[in-house]
Amino acid sequence: MGGGFEIALACDLVIAAENATFALPEPRVGLAALAGGLHRLPRQIGLKRAMGMILTGRHVSAREGFDLGFVNEVVPAGEALHAAERWAGQICQNSPMSIRASKHTAMKGLNVSLPEAMAAQREYPAVRDMVASADYVEGPKAFAEKRPPRWLGK
């Protein structure tokens, strides 16, 4: 809750134990969630649903957080670290160059219209680096040869 939820909202992925609770309770004590929660929550779940949480300080279960879209997976209590490691393992199976370019492009694209984002994406440094990388050649080659890729990250 509070600052902890604001940190979670700043993360790319949120894995929550089924007994987790999320809230921005600051208004209940005369404060405001000024560490990013007031900006990140509406961007992630929409203005009306976010305002419902923000203005009331209402507590949200992990399952509701999943339904609202700010939780990626709900797992049994005590299993969150194992699930997060599983997610990390899946990410690590991919090209680091592709992950960097994908994240950079997705985040930059949020600040402009869709046509502007599509037009600008080839100019992003992470995308240019990916296209010029050995991984860019290795991925399709490994796919064609029906073998796991050997990512170099360069």
Catalytic residue among 26, 64, 73, 85: 26
6 is catalytic: yes
Residue with tokens 């492009």: 105
Cβ pair 33, 24 in contact under 8 A: yes
Catalytic residue among 6, 18, 64, 85: 6
Q: DSSP class of residue 133? A: S
Cβ pair 70, 9 in contact under 8 A: yes
Least Cα distance to 5 among 78, 71, 64, 101 occurs for: 71
**Which residues belong to the active site?**
6, 26
